[in-house]
């Protein structure tokens, strides 16, 4: 496993933050919007990841309305805390009608909930306390706003996180789903180290502005959904039926025509995977973490076997010619929206 430095601290006595290039993404572990979860399997998957060198885990309160964080807390309770990096988030409230309405949804019990993007000062402080309890720890390594909240000044939000850093409850501040303008503004109020954004072979829009900005200003990019929610595994075929509460059913990526086109692309790069005795999914993950500006890739796993496979992707050796060939085939892929 390779570990990459996210950013140097602005406090000399505080150690740098290093993350495993494959970081465990715990959204699906919470079950919400993924058709449910099996708690014991999720715990095993996280522990198997750790044994394979994946020391970094990304979660959020909204994932299962606290369930994902509880599962992460259970999985790491017997592990040495200084050997694990906990990444969680704030700013998505399902228990408070304040801020920007993000979506109407249902919890794991099928009950309707309204989710709001809200990052007011008191809310951030409260969310941190709740996350620490669920995670069973006294500090969070990287605390990230989940989505921009246009009803709260960024200065107010970042001052709240600064207070948490001073109190030792948070080590580093990050953001998610921020564009370059929002990153610039947030950086005026806090030592910002990272931006977590969607990035995959079929979603590369950040390469235009965000990647150059982050490279220039030494900000880490944490790529989420690098497998595009299972699309790039090659296992999904036209006619695939999703569970009723699986959010992927409504995404254009999973239209039959796009499944066909993606699978044709994957068949072109499969010889590289076969030559290295790895799966298509592992090859996709390796390509992702080799792209300029991409610091780590988040990969979820439903069980221990998936966790082992994701971790092993970091050990694949790709030369520049192979990376360029994959990208060449990828550039010829066009999806229908």
| Active-site amino acid positions | 63
List % helix, strand, coil for the chain (3-state, nearest 5): 40, 20, 35
203: DSSP letter: B
- Torsion 302-308-310-311 (CA) sign: positive
For residues 255 and 202, what is the distance between their CA atoms, to the nearest angstrom? Answer: 14
Of the CA atoms within 13 Å of residue 297, those in its CB half-sphere come to 30
> Which of 233, 295, 291 is CA-nearest to residue 266?
233
First-to-last C-alpha distance (Å) of the chain: 37
Mapped onto helix, strand or coil, the DSSP state of residue 39 is helix
């Amino acid at each position: 496993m390779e570990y990459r430095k996210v950013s140097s601290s602005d406090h000399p006595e505080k150690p740098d933050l290093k993350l495993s290039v494959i970081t465990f993404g715990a959204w699906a572990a919470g079950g919400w919007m993924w058709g449910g979860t099996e708690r014991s399997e999720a715990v095993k998957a996280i522990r198997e990841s750790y044994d394979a060198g994946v020391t970094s885990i990304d979660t959020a309160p909204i994932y299962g309305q606290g369930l994902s964080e509880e599962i992460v807390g259970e999985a790491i309770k017997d592990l040495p805390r200084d050997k694990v990096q906990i990444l969680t988030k704030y700013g998505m409230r399902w228990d408070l009608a304040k801020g920007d309405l993000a979506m109407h949804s249902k919890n794991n019990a099928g009950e309707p909930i309204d989710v709001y993007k809200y990052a007011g000062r008191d809310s951030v402080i409260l969310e941190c306390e709740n996350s620490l309890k669920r995670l069973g720890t006294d500090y969070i390594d990287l605390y990230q706003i989940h989505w921009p909240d246009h009803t709260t000044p960024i200065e107010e939000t970042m001052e709240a996180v600064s207070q948490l850093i001073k109190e030792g409850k948070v080590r580093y501040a990050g953001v998610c789903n921020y564009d370059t303008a929002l990153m610039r503004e947030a950086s005026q109020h806090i030592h910002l180290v990272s931006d977590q954004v969607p990035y995959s072979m079929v979603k590369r829009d950040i390469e235009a502005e965000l990647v150059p900005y982050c490279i220039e200003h030494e900000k880490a990019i944490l790529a989420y959904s690098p497998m595009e929610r299972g699309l790039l595994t090659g296992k999904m075929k036209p006619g695939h039926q999703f569970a009723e509460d699986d959010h992927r059913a409504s995404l254009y990526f999973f239209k039959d025509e796009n499944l066909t086109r993606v699978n044709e692309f994957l068949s072109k790069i499969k010889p590289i995977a076969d030559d290295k005795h790895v799966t298509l999914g592992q090859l996709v993950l390796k390509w992702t973490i080799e792209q300029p500006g991409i610091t780590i890739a988040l990969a979820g796993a439903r069980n221990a076997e998936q966790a082992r496979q994701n971790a092993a992707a970091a050990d694949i050796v790709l030369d520049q010619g192979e990376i360029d060939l994959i990208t060449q085939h990828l550039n010829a892929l066009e999806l229908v929206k």
